[in-house]
Every structure is written in structure tokens, then in C-alpha cells.
Structure 1
């Protein structure tokens, strides 16, 4: 089975050279091993858009209940109730409905002036300095402030929360993530904030979660338990930081490599929302998610046995020419809009997608209004090492 399902291709998710540019391997997998098997890491992978798209909505076959990370599923560690990305319906629907109240269009759009203010605070001191780090100076700062404001975390503590979140996804170079014996890390770091908000309510997510009543999977009307609340807050804090941080970093890298398109955006900012969508497709911050296979399933004449781990390769599917003709490996801000899978699809579609798009749009508008030209200082750039996300920890630019 191995020879037939890997096509002589080696995709190792922990290989640093592959992580630096996985797309040549993704292309080989798509064309020559659309059902791929890695015998060393013991996982299967799907790379074609139609296969990944269909698998993401088939929670009966591909379960999230044991995690969405290769290492977590293989560790067979327990996942506590309340971690949305690691749940299947119907319990997922109960918890998602509760959190969806926090990301209404009204609340998201009301943030725009404050997001611009955060961007200005980050960028204005850098004018005329000749240098700007897309991640350290903006990508790791502005999203942290926005999520901190939404949650009700004091600004003086927001960097601590961001660093706590990053520490849980960063791995040693070339090494898999390690999970504690009790599985998912809880959000104990938020305990004092929850206690404070219980006594001092405000217009933020933490206060709403403290007071929200909902009908759980047993039909009982209740409020969240303390442990559930800690998990909810930690999920929002982690997910809210990561996607936008990586998006802003990739905007700097990709637009430096496509200066003509960057200049077009600077001259015509109305194209920026379309450019953000293309950036999300072209360089998804989370290029793969994992699922536990609940029963035997067949692909391309091969059987994936129940109990396997299936990697759904979003980064590969997003560049499939069948969905994005004529060539998905080509970056084009004028590409005809088509569905991509960066925010998932169906039950697990990202609740914060609209906020991430808005933050990305505003960030790029504010950067281009101040720095319409830049070149990357590639020798000093540093790629993040993580199984969960792909992006930059540092991406310095030289401003002419």
C-alpha cells in the first residue's frame, strides 16, 4: 500500500526545508499521489480541492473529536468539552452558537476605528526610520490589541497573553508538538481576569460569556461552568491572534515579491479587499488540519482504514488549478473570486473570518499609505516552527 500511495514522494511535515516552501511537494502530491501515505509518521493526506472540500464537511467520516492536529490525534489524549475546533456535531453546534454571539457583523465593523488607531500607533513611529518588521512591529501587535479589547484583557497584560498562546503552538525546529498527558492546555492564565470581570462587568466577550444562558446538549438551560469559560476564552485568544498575525506577515513577503501588484494596490486601495482574499488563498496561515478516520473509506483505488489519521492539506487544495485556473501557484490580485479553504468550510468555518479579513484589510491600507515601497531583508527573516501554523516570527523590510 505504501508504494502505491506515496508515489515516491516524501512529505514530512516536520522537515524545515519543506516547510520553507512546501508548494513543490504539494504539487507532486496533487498530481501523482492524490491519496498520499507517510509510513514513518503514519498519516494519510488529501491534496486536491474537491477531496479536501468534501472531507471538511464529512464529520461522520472525518472526526474532529480527537483533535485537529496530527500529534494530538496520535497521542490519543483527551480533549475537554468546549474546544470548538476539536468537536463534532451536535455538541459543536451548541458551543458554536454560544460563541457566535460574540462575532456579529455589528461588533466586528464597530472595531474599525480602533483597529486603525492601533495600526497608527504601531506604524507612525517607524516613518523615516528606513526599516519595518511586518510581524514584530505590526502583525504581532495589532491583532493582540484587538482580541485583548474584545475579551476585556487589560492592555498591560496583552503581550503576556499573546506569548502564552504562541508558546503552546511553537515547537523545536524539525520536531513535532508535545502534548501533556492530560491533553489540551486549559486557560488557567485567564482566571484572574474572569474573577475581575465577574465583579466589574463591561462590554466585552468575557462579560457576555459569564452571563450567557444557553441550552446544552442535554436540553438543560444553564450558564457556562468555570472550566468551560476558561477554555472558551483561551480558544478565542489563541485563534484571534494567529490568523491575522500570519496574514500580515505573508502580505509583506508576497507583495515584496510582486512589486507591480503592490504598487497597483497603493494607487488603488479599493483593490485591497480582493488582494487580502488572494493572500489568504495563496499563503494560508494554517496549511493543514488533521482528522480521525471513523470508518474505512476509499480513494483512488486504495482503502484508508478506520483509525487512521487523515491530513487535509488546505495549502495544497488552495493552489489546485482545477479550482483556480489556469495556475493556482500564480499570485494575482485580479483573480476571479472562487471559494478557498483557508477559513474552512461547513460546520467548522472560522467564526473570526470576518474579523481577520477586516484586520488584514486595514493593516494593508495603513501600511501602503505610509510605505508604498519596500524590500525584504531575507537574511534576517525567521519562519515560525509549528505544526499548527505557517508564517513568520520576524519579517524585516527595508524602506527606501
Structure 2
């Protein structure tokens, strides 16, 4: 089944295509004709042509695609029913795009369908970002550190005793949901219901703003979540809560910075962003343990090395692979002109393995690597505000895994499903592992 987490640029139902109003010059048009489409290229054996939506799962492990693109087509033109999409794969070009926020616009739709900071630019983005940042202070992160360790300890202990299981359901999702519910201020008893709600919100969001098919009844189910969060915001405002949702509630009811709908949508964004990507990041860690089993002993013997492990994991197998942008003006990238108004995908995961930046062993996991400059948590004005929380969860989880578990084993052909149907994030969807507990 194709995941509902698509993120392809496209029209809002019932509206005109969400295409930039900027025109393409005759010079740009001539340059476009020189760029062949992905499906017209002679891809190496074993690599299918790159597509915007990975409906078959052929791009579940995309790193060979990325390497070929960097070498031969650093700007790749991909046909899509609504409009062409340009994929940029080299580190230097991605970095330039991430830093040029006025040219590479984060707002790809003419109208922003949801109050998500990742969909906005300029003053609107800064207004929303400032509200969220007020709740993600070091003090706020520190307040949930004990909760993270307590929850993770219980989960890992049970996992070790049982000899393994499905890592997302047994370990990662319970931890991330408990953590984000704590920092957001949502009662943990209601977290299970969020599974259904957030799946529908993702599908509705993708259908409305990214031209994906969505799910039956996604808007109706999402409205249930919106109603629930509206009541939670009312309660947190009355309590003068210091949780993230408390800050959002004051920005709405106390300061008038946000409307009620914007406040609710921002809560939805924080919750989804807070658990989905971190869940996949921690799932990806087991793929590393499979290939580099010695790392379990190293982290067990030197727990502080878990910091280096997590940072290299974010570079090597970070869950966010692509950053969608809309060009405010024509740009030249690697000798190709991309016209104004075009949709561009900056391939963060490709840049994080670019040999020109990381050396000849860029596609190897090296816990001792200097990872400064990776794009695993974004870059520039759109740097991920929740990255300290994600790091805290991942560090805690992997330190405990290494201290309790001696070995991890699974058969990728039967035990592993990677996310498909997604054009933004990537990683483990399902993974059953067998583990051997350490004897102390």
C-alpha cells in the first residue's frame, strides 16, 4: 500500500493549479529543451528512471540513484502531470539553494493551505517560527529529558527480554509520541488516537497542497483532530502552560498573533514533525547496526560516542531527503538554466553523501567523521527547530540499546519495508529484528 505521506507540488482541489505566476523567457525555454527528462535517459542497469512519486518502492534505497545523478545529471528534469520538477543533487548547489531563501522560495503554492512554517517565507514564516521557538527552549527540552529516559528504559528493557520485535511499534513510536505529547502539552492517554488522526492529516495535506490522491474521509477525520486540539488549546491557555501548545495558545488568545485555525494547524505541524521523522531516524539506526555490528560494543564501552553516532546517522541516513522550493527567478545550476517559477527539489540526502564534500568514503558510515555542515536538520532560516529534541531522543534510545543489546539481526528481504509513495521523507516503515541481550 502506498503511504499517504506524499509531498508533490500541485493544485488545490477546486482551484487553479498552484503554479507560480512568473513567466518563462524564450532563453529559458530554449535551455529547457536541452535538458532531457529522467525517463529519456539511459540509466544504469538496476536503476529505474527517477520519478517524483515513488509508487513502486524502487527509490526506497535511493543512494545509487543519487550518486549517478551527481556524476551525470546534477540537475535532473522529471516529468510530472502538473508540471516539471527539477532535482538538484550536488552539495555545493544544494547549499547555495538552502541559503538563498529569497530566490528558492519555501512557499511553493500561491496560497498557503496550512499554517505550517515549512510552507512559508518571509515575515509570515518568521511570525510562525517565533511562536514555535518560544516553546522549544533548552529549558523546555531539559524538562522532558527525564521522561525520555524513563520511557525509553522501559521500552528497551522489554525489547531485550522478548528477544526483539518490530522496532517502530515496540520502541520508536511509543517513545517519540510520549516525548512530543509531553513537550506539546497533549495528554499522553490520547496519543494512540493521534495515529489515526495524523495519518489522515498527512493524506489531506498531500491531497490539498501536493497533488496526491489522499485517503477516503481524510478531511472529515482531520477535523476531529482539529476540534480536539482546539479544546486542548483553550485548557492550556487557562492554565498558562509553558508547554509548546501553551505558547501557541497565548499567541492566539492572548496576543492575537494567530487565528484559532492557525493555532490548531501549528499544533498539528509540531506534533507530526515531532514524531514522524524522529521515528524514522531511529528506525534507520538498525540498518547501520546490521552493517556495522561493532558499533554496539563501542557505544556500550564509550557511551559519550552516542553523540557522534547520532550525528553521523543524521548525515548518512537522515529521514528528510528533499526540500521543495519554488524559484522566484531563473537560476543557473551546474551549467543548466532552471526557469523562474519552476519547482525545484534540493536533494539533502544526496548532498550528505557527495564525495566532493565528504571524501571518497562518503557512502560509508564513519562514527568518527566530522559531520559539520550536513543538511540532516535543514539549513539556514528553515533549520529544524525540533532538532535538539530529536537528538535527545535518538541519543537516549541508542545509548540504552547498546547497553542492553549485544547483537541485532534481521533478513532485509523478509523483515524490512522501506517507505514508498513518498517524495519528501525516506526510511524504515517496518522492521522486525532479533536481538541478543547482553549478559552483565
Same fold (TM over 0.5): yes
Aligned length: 382
The answer to whether structure 1 residue 195 and structure 2 residue 230 are counterparts is no
Distance 1:81 1:244 in 2: 22
Q: Distance in 1 between matches of 2:211 and 2:418?
A: 16
User: For 1:97-149, what per-residue CA distance to the aligned partner results, in whole angstroms no more than 9, with x for missing partners?
Assistant: 22111111121123211101111232222333222322111111101111111
Aligned-partner Cα distance in 1 for 2:272–2:51: 25
Superposed CA offset, 1:180-203 (max 9, x none): 999xx7761422322333444434
Residue 140 (structure 1) aligned to one of 173, 186, 190: 173
Pairing of 1:1-400 with structure 2 (within 5 A): 1=32, 4=35, 6=38, 8-9=42-43, 10-15=49-54, 16-40=56-80, 42-66=84-108, 73=109, 78-80=111-113, 82-169=115-202, 177-178=212-213, 188=226, 189-212=228-251, 222-378=256-412, 379-385=414-420, 386-400=422-436
Q: 1:154-204: per-residue Cα shift (whole Å, max 9, x none)?
A: 1111122244223444699xx97336999xx77614223223334444342
CA separation in 1, counterparts of 2:193 and 2:425? 20
Deviations 1:293-343 (A, max 9, x none): 122112233221122110100110000011111221111111123210011
Quick one: distance in 2 between partners of 1:305 and 1:223?
Answer: 36
Q: Find the residue that maps to 1:373 and give its secondary structure.
A: strand
Q: TM-score, normalised by structure 2?
A: 0.80
Q: 1:18 to 1:168 in 2, by over 3 A?
A: farther
Q: Given that residues 315 and 371 in structure 2 are in contact (C-alpha distance below 8 angstroms), is that contact kept between their aligned partners in structure 1?
A: no
Change in Cα spacing, 1:139 to 1:324, as seen in structure 2 (3 Å) is same
1:14-49 alpha-carbon deviations (Å, 9 max, x no partner): 333432210111001001111111134621111000
Partner of 1:70: none
Instruction: Give unmatched runs, 5+ long, in structure 2.
Output: 1-31, 44-48
Instruction: Work out the CA distance in 2 between the residues paired with 1:131 and 1:81.
Output: 39
Deviates further, 92-101 or 6-15: 6-15
Provide the C-alpha distance between the structure 2 equivalents of 1:98 and 1:131, rounded to a whole number of angstroms: 40
Question: Contact (CA 8 Å) 2:52, 2:85: kept in 1 or not?
Answer: no
RMSD (Å), alpha carbons:
2.7
2:319 touches 2:425 (CA, 8 Å); kept in 1?
Answer: yes
Q: Partners of 2:294 and 2:164 in 1: how far apart?
A: 21
SS of 2:102's equivalent in the other structure is coil
In the other structure, the counterpart of 2:3 is none
Q: Is the 8 A contact 2:75 2:89 kept in 1?
A: yes
Q: Distance between the aligned counterparts of 1:214 and 1:64, measured in 2?
A: 28
Larger mean CA deviation between 5-14 and 346-355 belongs to: 5-14
Structure 1: distance between partners of 2:194 and 2:57: 30
Q: What is the alpha-carbon distance in structure 2 between the residues aligned to residue 30 and residue 155 of structure 1?
A: 44
Secondary structure of the 1:289 match is: strand
CA-CA distance at 1:2 after TM superposition:
5.6
What displacement does 1:3 show?
Answer: 5.9
Q: Measured at CA, do residues 4 and 211 of structure 1 come closer, stay the same or move farther in structure 2, by a change above 3 Å?
A: closer
SS at match of 1:192: helix
**Residue matched to 1:69:** none
Conserved? CA contact 2:419–2:427, under 8 Å? yes
Indicate if the aligned counterparts of 2:140 and 2:183 stay in contact, CA closer than 8 A: no
Q: Describe the superposition over 1:39-68 as per-residue Cα deviations: whole angstroms up to 9, x where unpaired.
A: 3462111100010011012122111123xx
